[in-house]
A and B are shown apart, each in its own frame.
Chain A
C-alpha cells in the first residue's frame, strides 16, 4: 500500500506531479507566508514550499499540504485526477480491517530527535510560527499539526488538531472544546482533580497521520494511521512524558496542559471562513521540551474561505464516517457527501426512499451521533440524484423540498465557531439543526409524482443513442 513516511517524501511526490512551487527568495513569517498560502487555497494553486524564512535561517514552510482533492488522491497513492468517489473508495478500503499496533522505534532511529532542547533553553519564539492573518490574536504554530494526549484513567491515546497560539517563549494557548476527545480528558478528568495533562504537539506529521488525526473514526488515531498505511506507524517515546509521537515528524513540542489557569486566545481566521469566536480565556499549554529534525519544515494551513485542508479533509472524513454510521443501521443510502465549500456544515445524503420519514431518521441519527456538533444541515435526496453533482443537488433542493413540510428543525450541540450562532449559543455550545427533506413523499400516488425532464430521463434510450452517436459530428463537444 502506497504511503509517504514523512512530508519530505510527500513533497517530492507533489513536485513530480507539478503540484508544488518552491520559493527561494526571503518570505516574511509576519503575514507574507500566510498571504501566499491563502491565495494558494483560493486559487487551488500548487502547494508552496518556502525555503528562506525571514529571521529563521534553516527553517522551511510547507503550505496548503492537502488543500485539494488531487493532493488527497496523491496521499492515498492514487492518480491525482481521480474522482471524489474513487478517492472515497480508496479511503474506505484503507480504513477497513484490523489495525496494526504502532511500532516504537529507538530514539537513535527517529529523525524527530535530531535536535533536542530542554529546560531553560526551550524557546517557542525560535520556531517560525507564522502570523497567519492580519489581526489574529497571535502567531499560530498549530495550524496543520496534531496534539497527542493520553486518557489519565484508561490510557486511551488521542491525536487531535487543536489550534495553538504562541503566547510567550514557553507558553501556548488554544481552545479545547469540552465535547472533544481531549476536552473530555482535560475538563472531565484532570481539571476536577487539579492534575495537569501531559501533551506532545506534532508539527509536520506525515500526511496519513495528519488525516488520521482529524478523522472522526472510532479507531484510535495511531492504529488508524497504521491501517491506512498498511503497516505499523512508527512512533518514538517523548523525552519528558509518557507519550509517543510519529518518529518522522518535523517538530515535536512537549509539555503539560494546565487544569486551572487560562489565558486569552484568538481572534483567529477559522475554518468557517470567518473570524467568529471571540477572544476569551482558553486552555494553556506549558512547554518544557522541543525536538526537531535538521532543517525542519513547519506546515501551514491557512483557514479562511474555502477551500483549505481542514475544510476538505473534515468534510471528506466526516461524510464517510456518517456513511458508515447510516449503513451500519441498515438505511438504504446511496452515499454521503459533505461539500467542502460548506465548511463541513452540510451533509448531502442519497437514499432509496422506501418508507415514510426516512430523511428524518437519517437526520436524527446523524445529529445524534458523536459527529453531530460539527454540522447543522442535512439534505436528503433520492437515489436518482448524483450527490456529488452540485447542480443536481441544488435543483432537487429548490424543487423537491416542501417549504413547510420538508424542513425540520431541532435543538442540538453546536460549536462556538458557528458564524450564525448567537452569543448565548456559542457560550453554551448550543446548535440548532435543520433537515431539508428533498424526497417526494412515499404516500403520493406514483402517477402523481412530478417527472424529471432531462435528456437522460425523458427520452427513450434509442433516441438518446441516436443523438449521441452524431453529437460530435455536428460540432458539439462530447462529454
Chain B
C-alpha cells in the first residue's frame, strides 16, 4: 500500500537520500486522497529505507513497477503569498 505518489519524467530526477522539494500526492484513503502538496523529503529506491512507500508514475500516468520509500520532513508553501 503506497502512502504517496509522484510524477516524474525520468527516475534520475529523484536524488536518493538527499533532501529534495517534491510535489507529491497524498494516497491516504478518504476525501483528501490524491490532493497535492509540496514537501521536503528524502527518497530511496530501496522500499525499506524510509518509513513510507512512494509510487512513481511517468508522464502519461504509467506506474513504475518498483516501490520507492520516502520520508516527508515537512510541507513547503509554493503559492505566491499575494494569492493566499
Chain A partners chain B? yes
Query: Cβ of A267 and Cβ of B30 under 8 Å apart?
Result: no
Residues of B within 8 A of A56 (CB): 31
Query: Cβ of A131 and Cβ of B79 under 8 Å apart?
Result: no
Query: Cβ of A135 and Cβ of B83 under 8 Å apart?
Result: no
Query: Cβ of A136 and Cβ of B61 under 8 Å apart?
Result: yes
Q: Is A258 an interface residue (CB 8 A)?
A: yes
In residues 422-445 of chain A, which contact B (Cβ within 8 Å)?
none
Residues of A within 8 A of B25 (CB): 138
Question: Closest residue of chain B to A269, judged by CB?
Answer: B61
Query: Cβ of A167 and Cβ of B31 under 8 Å apart?
Result: no
Residues of A within 8 A of B36 (CB): 138, 167-168, 263
Query: Cβ of B34 and Cβ of A131 under 8 Å apart?
Result: yes
Query: Cβ of B23 and Cβ of A168 under 8 Å apart?
Result: no
Query: Cβ of B31 and Cβ of A125 under 8 Å apart?
Result: yes
Shortest Cβ gap from A65 to chain B (Å): 24
Query: Cβ of B35 and Cβ of A169 under 8 Å apart?
Result: yes
Residues of B within 8 A of A258 (CB): 80, 83
Query: Cβ of B59 and Cβ of A30 under 8 Å apart?
Result: no
Q: Is A286 an interface residue (CB 8 A)?
A: yes
Shortest Cβ gap from A444 to chain B (Å): 48
In residues 36-84 of chain B, which contact A (Cβ within 8 Å)?
36-37, 57, 59-63, 79-80, 83
| Residue of B32, B34, B83 with highest tally of chain A CB at under 10 A | B34
- The number of chain B residues with a CB under 8 A from chain A is 20
Residues of B within 8 A of A166 (CB): 34-35
**Given the complex of chains A and B, what is the CA–CA distance between A432 and B44 in angstroms?**
44
Question: Closest residue of chain B to A196, judged by CB?
Answer: B83
User: With A30-B33, A56-B31, A125-B32 as given contacts, are A137 and B61 in contact (CB-CB < 8 Å)?
Assistant: yes
Shortest Cβ gap from B42 to chain A (Å): 21
Shortest Cβ gap from B15 to chain A (Å): 19
Q: Is A410 an interface residue (CB 8 A)?
A: no
Q: Is A261 an interface residue (CB 8 A)?
A: yes
Give the contacting residue for B61; candidates A125, A134, A139, A264; CB below 8 A.
A134
Q: Is A278 an interface residue (CB 8 A)?
A: yes
Query: Cβ of A267 and Cβ of B35 under 8 Å apart?
Result: no
**Given the complex of chains A and B, what is the CA–CA distance between A267 and B79 in angstroms?**
22
Query: Cβ of A261 and Cβ of B83 under 8 Å apart?
Result: yes
Query: Cβ of A168 and Cβ of B59 under 8 Å apart?
Result: no
Question: Closest residue of chain B to A123, judged by CB?
Answer: B31
Q: Is A55 an interface residue (CB 8 A)?
A: yes
- The number of chain A residues with a CB under 8 A from chain B is 30
Residues of A within 8 A of B31 (CB): 55-56, 125-126
User: With A56-B31, A264-B23, A279-B7 as given contacts, are A135 and B61 in contact (CB-CB < 8 Å)?
Assistant: yes
Residues of B within 8 A of A278 (CB): 59-60
| Residue of B7, B25, B32, B37 with highest tally of chain A CB at under 10 A | B7
Shortest Cβ gap from A436 to chain B (Å): 30
Residues of B within 8 A of A256 (CB): 83
**Given the complex of chains A and B, what is the CA–CA distance between A133 and B57 in angstroms?**
14
Question: Closest residue of chain A to B32, judged by CB?
Answer: A125
Shortest Cβ gap from B12 to chain A (Å): 16
Query: Cβ of B60 and Cβ of A261 under 8 Å apart?
Result: no
Residues of B within 8 A of A275 (CB): 60-61
Query: Cβ of B32 and Cβ of A267 under 8 Å apart?
Result: no
Shortest Cβ gap from B46 to chain A (Å): 24
Residues of B within 8 A of A276 (CB): 60
Cβ contacts A243-264/B at 8 Å (1 or 0 each): 0000000000000101011011
Question: Closest residue of chain A to B26, judged by CB?
Answer: A168
Shortest Cβ gap from B25 to chain A (Å): 7
Shortest Cβ gap from A423 to chain B (Å): 11
Query: Cβ of A264 and Cβ of B7 under 8 Å apart?
Result: yes
Query: Cβ of A261 and Cβ of B80 under 8 Å apart?
Result: yes
| Residue of B32, B60, B83 with highest tally of chain A CB at under 10 A | B60
Query: Cβ of B83 and Cβ of A267 under 8 Å apart?
Result: no
Cβ contacts A128-144/B at 8 Å (1 or 0 each): 00010111111100000
Query: Cβ of B60 and Cβ of A168 under 8 Å apart?
Result: no
Residues of B within 8 A of A171 (CB): 79
Shortest Cβ gap from B60 to chain A (Å): 5
**Given the complex of chains A and B, what is the CA–CA distance between A260 and B79 in angstroms?**
11
Question: Closest residue of chain A to B30, judged by CB?
Answer: A55
Shortest Cβ gap from A274 to chain B (Å): 9
Cβ contacts A14-38/B at 8 Å (1 or 0 each): 0000000000000000100000000
**Given the complex of chains A and B, what is the CA–CA distance between A136 and B63 in angstroms?**
11
**Given the complex of chains A and B, what is the CA–CA distance between A131 and B34 in angstroms?**
9
Give the contacting residue for B35; candidates A125, A133, A260; CB below 8 A.
A125
Shortest Cβ gap from A269 to chain B (Å): 9
Residues of A within 8 A of B61 (CB): 133-137, 267, 275
Q: A135-B57, A168-B37, A171-B79 are in contact. List 15 more A-B contacts (CB 8 A).
A: A125-B35, A133-B61, A135-B61, A136-B61, A139-B34, A166-B35, A167-B35, A168-B36, A258-B80, A258-B83, A261-B80, A264-B23, A275-B61, A278-B59, A279-B59
Residues on A lying within 8 angstroms of B by beta carbon are 30, 55-56, 125-126, 131, 133-139, 166-169, 171, 256, 258, 260-261, 263-264, 267, 275-276, 278-279, 286
